[in-house]
A and B are shown apart, each in its own frame.
Chain A
Amino acid sequence: MCGSGEPRWGRGPCSPSPMLFLSLLLSTAPFVLLGEKTRQVSLEVIPGWLGSHQNLLHIRAVGTNSTLHYVWSSLGPPAVLLVATNTPHSSLSVNWSRLLSPEPDGGLVVLPKNSIQFSSALIFTRLLEFDSTNLSDVAAKLPGKPYPPYSLAEFSWNNISDSLDPATLSATFRGHPMSDPTKAFVNGSLAFRVQAFSGSGRPVQPPRLLHTADTCQLEMALVGASPRGNRSLFGLEVATLSEGPDCPSVLEKHSIDDEYAPAVFQLDQLLWGSLPSGFMQWRPVAFSQKQGGRESALSCQASPLHPTLSYPLPQSPIVRAFFGPQNFCAFNLTFGVSTGPGYWDQHYLSWSMLLGVGSPPVDALSPLVLGIMAVALGTPGLMLLGGGLILLLRHKQSSEYQPIN
């Protein structure tokens, strides 16, 4: 969209003309059809090559005239592909021998190819850990002195088929480092619970993000791993495809409504494309206890997205297989601050996000709030009105009689 003379990783300001927006709007108009109320959702673990388990989970959400494909895998680092098509009959085809080869390009395809309206990917590359008691470099904006990160590509993951639950449309990837010299993960694990939805609703567990049939939820939980310091803060590095010269940016939406996540007045969103064609959405809050009460709420900071040139990002075979060679942008999420609750309380940390297609769900005031407001403001108002009328009438009546003297 910006001048082609610009360097590929240039982050200069880029202002597309209104005409461009208009043409984009027109060209993607059929895409609006994707927002469907309900979808037929099926979860399938694609059987591995030669009987080995390779953890490839395909979530297929079929609507009346569109299909969404979410492909989750722990081949390499945990990653997800999301692909939206404009036909209810599109399908995923996997070529295992190519996918597992060093050049996996074309190992994953969604057919028919011309039905694809939108596609993107997220890769969860590293688990970060910081020593928050030692604020080393303020300029680097790190929450503390970093420990060597855990590369999630070097984790071994459980067999996804064991945790597949068709009733809740969920499955859990649970893993620990393959080599663990410090024995940090002897009693611990990092879990990614993936859940799809056939309609809109809101989970019971905070942060209670509103989900629709077009979305998929990821809940990350770090449980029982021994931190390397007394006040260790954890973080997660997330990578996504860079589109054009710029990295997508994280938008912070402020709202007055914290009914579903007490004291959190913000919603963070990563939008792909100029039109909301796909999004990652989360509340900047994580929890240090399983109940997820307000007292265990940790703030969650997101760094701006930056191109991943400084170090080689672990390759995700599925992303490579679908998109071919690509450039990536990454950002860090860090959970908690040195003061206040933290992972050290109960060796527990959970955070959730939504991944979806179309416009991100928007919270509205709940009917209960609206109801109470209507009654609370209506009653005195009506009373004032009614009372005023009665007094006025009585006043008129009494003034019709003249006093005798």
Chain B
Amino acid sequence: MEEEDEEARSLLAGGSEDAGRGPPATPAAPRILSAVCDPSRLAHRLLVLSLMCFLGFGSYFCYDNPAALQTQIQRDMQVNTTKFMFLYAWYSWPNVVLCFFGGFLIDRVFGIRWGTIIFSCFVCIGQVIFALGGIFNAFWLMEFGRFIFGTGGESLAVAQNTYAVSWFKGKELNLVFGLQLSMARIGSTVNMNLMGWLYSQMEASLGAAGPMTLGVTLMIGGITCILSLICALALAYLDQRAERILHKEQGQTGEVIKLTDVKDFSLPLWLIFIICVCYYVAVFPFIGLGKVFFMEKFKFSSQAASAINSVVYVISAPLSPVFGLLVDKTGKNIIWVLCAVATTLVSHMMLAFTLWNPWIAMCLLGISYSLVACALWPMVAYVVPEHQLGTAYGFMQSIQNLGLAIISIVAGLILDTRGYLFLGVFFIACVSMSLLFVVLLYLVNRARGGSLNYSAKQREEIKLSHTE
């Protein structure tokens, strides 16, 4: 992953040089540079790809800032866990609605270039307000900052995907999606392991811990958002340049969201929604509270707790493409989802009911989380006609965000009053519910003769018979 990172960075550096000077200045490698400048060449697309990857880096880095600094935030701002979890809830609330409109805003209102820039600005401003909340010792300002941050965050991910489709469709699209996802995970991981250290550095240089130190630390974390904004501007320039040279069209999400489609959603689709919500509410809020959990229950040091808390992301970065391929080759999506959800259940039970080394459980969680992402989301495409796909995915993300917003608060509340064991039991109940609906989905699919659990071979045969 580090190699990838470095490669991307060197590409980025080359890109900014080139953008600044126009004609190649170093005659030693004129061919490479001309390739980098030519929008129809692979080298140029790689440059664009690295910009795309860093476009999302800032928002993923800052999304988990609260988790990385939970002890510091709760101590400096004097808030309990419930209030702390509001920081995550406030991120999710705007996205309950925005998931439907992100695509619309990009296609019809702003266009991809301005849309990306505007969403990046929201992310930046949100993070700055979040940090100011620390500097002024005002928790409500921090919450407000997270709200603004959330307004930009998820829509930026949509914009990122749209750029990817517009530049790489028919070429290396799946690889690009995989790389973008990996980059997002790298952002989260770097955040988890960097912010605590950064805080202690700030504490040393400012002389004392406190809201001021917290604010300054978050402000420095916000530099990643500025970086992403610069990427957004560079992408807009390169995209426009490519349009001028290649007469390439401006990218569109192509999402048509018709809320009236919701009434046509089939039973399996609703089941998939419930599985999705019940599953993710037991993963993301857990990671949000994870660092302190490992410190308090397993007596981990701050750094070790950060490391283990980010292991889910570390595992999912390389495994996502592998599992993607695996599920593509084998089919049988429901069985894969069933296995993954059951594994998550086991891992949550290990965390709640044993004092075993939590690395085992967290690695299991990381593996099963990656598998669910690869097997669950594509299922939507099998049960929804293509013209409703946008609405279905929008709806899925929307209720996922609704679930996350509510469960974040509930999780904080449970932790404050009943402790980690009960919280663990609560998460186990959520995953069990998810498992229950996976079983139900399997039965419904089986009873209706649905296509969800076909193997790859069966899918191929059906495709052939359709084309004939």
Contacts and interface: CB of A to CB of B under 8 A. Distances in A.
Contacts of B435: 380
Contact of A339 (B75, B436, B442, B446): B75
A325 to B, nearest CB: 42
B10 to A, nearest CB: 41
Interface string B252-279: 0000000000000000000000000000
Nearest to B78: A295
B353 A293 contact: no
A387 B436 contact: no
B425 A369 contact: yes
Contacts of B419: 258-264
Interface in A349-405: 365, 368-369, 372-373, 375-377, 379-380, 383-384, 387, 390-391
Contact of A380 (B80, B355, B439): B439
Contacts of A256: 297, 352-355, 421
Given A376-B425, A377-B432, 15 more contacts: A254-B355, A262-B416, A262-B418, A263-B420, A265-B297, A293-B80, A339-B75, A365-B421, A372-B425, A373-B425, A375-B429, A377-B428, A380-B432, A387-B440, A391-B443
A294 interface: yes
B415 interface: yes
B208 to A, nearest CB: 10
Given A262-B419, A293-B416, A376 B443 contact: no
Contacts of A373: 425, 428
A353 to B, nearest CB: 20
Interface in B330-388: 352-355
Nearest to A369: B425
A257 interface: yes
A384 B439 contact: yes
Contact of A259 (B75, B418, B429, B432): B418
B296 A265 contact: yes
A380 B292 CA distance: 31
A344 to B, nearest CB: 13
Nearest to B434: A380
Contacts of A375: 429
Given A380-B435, A383-B439, A263 B422 contact: no
A376 B432 contact: yes
A375 B425 CA distance: 11
Interface string B409-437: 00000011111111001101100110110
Ranked nearest first, the 7 interchain pairs of A and B with the lowest CB-CB distance are A262-B419, A258-B419, A376-B432, A376-B429, A380-B436, A380-B435, A387-B443
B422 A259 contact: yes
A340 interface: yes
A260 B419 CA distance: 7
B268 to A, nearest CB: 15
A294 B81 contact: yes
Interface string B431-455: 0110110011011001000000000
Interface string A250-290: 00001011111111110000000000000000000000000
B298 to A, nearest CB: 9
Contact of B440 (A265, A339, A383): A383
B40 interface: no
Given A372-B425, A387-B442, A258 B432 contact: no
27 contacts: A254-B355, A256-B353, A256-B354, A257-B421, A258-B421, A259-B419, A259-B422, A262-B416, A263-B297, A263-B415, A264-B419, A293-B80, A294-B81, A294-B415, A294-B416, A295-B78, A295-B81, A295-B416, A341-B75, A369-B421, A372-B425, A376-B433, A380-B432, A383-B439, A390-B443, A391-B443, A391-B446
Contact of B79 (A254, A261, A264, A295): A295
B74 interface: yes
Contacts of B433: 376
Interface of A: 254, 256-265, 293-295, 339-341, 365, 368-369, 372-373, 375-377, 379-380, 383-384, 387, 390-391
A379 B425 contact: no
A56 to B, nearest CB: 39
Nearest to B417: A262
Given A259-B418, A261-B419, A340 B75 contact: yes
Contacts of A263: 292, 296-297, 415, 419-420
Interface of B: 74-75, 78-81, 209, 292, 296-297, 352-355, 415-422, 425-426, 428-429, 432-433, 435-436, 439-440, 442-443, 446
Contacts of B440: 383, 387
A169 B416 CA distance: 30
A262 B415 contact: yes
A28 B439 CA distance: 57
B345 to A, nearest CB: 8
Given A256-B353, A295-B80, A379 B432 contact: yes
Dominant secondary structure of chain B at its interface with chain A: helix
A353 B440 CA distance: 50
Contacts of B426: 372
Contacts of B354: 256
Nearest to B297: A265
Contacts of A376: 425, 428-429, 432-433
A393 to B, nearest CB: 13
Contacts of B418: 259, 262
A260 B421 CA distance: 10
A326 B353 CA distance: 45
A380 B433 CA distance: 8
Contacts of A383: 436, 439-440, 443
A251 B397 CA distance: 50
A264 B421 CA distance: 10
Nearest to B209: A339
Contacts of A387: 439-440, 442-443
**Max count, chain A CB within 10 A of own CB: residue among B79, B209, B297:** B297
B126 to A, nearest CB: 26
A372 B439 contact: no
A147 B225 CA distance: 49
Contacts of B80: 293-295
A313 B352 CA distance: 45
Contacts of A390: 443
Contacts of B297: 256, 258, 263, 265
A294 B81 CA distance: 8
Contacts of A384: 439
A373 B432 CA distance: 9
A384 to B, nearest CB: 5
B79 A372 contact: no
Nearest to A383: B439
Contacts of B446: 391
Contacts of A365: 421
A363 B264 CA distance: 52
A294 B85 CA distance: 15
Contacts of B81: 294-295
A257 B432 CA distance: 21
B352 to A, nearest CB: 7
B338 to A, nearest CB: 9
B172 to A, nearest CB: 40
Contacts of B432: 376-377, 379-380
A379 to B, nearest CB: 6
A260 B355 CA distance: 18
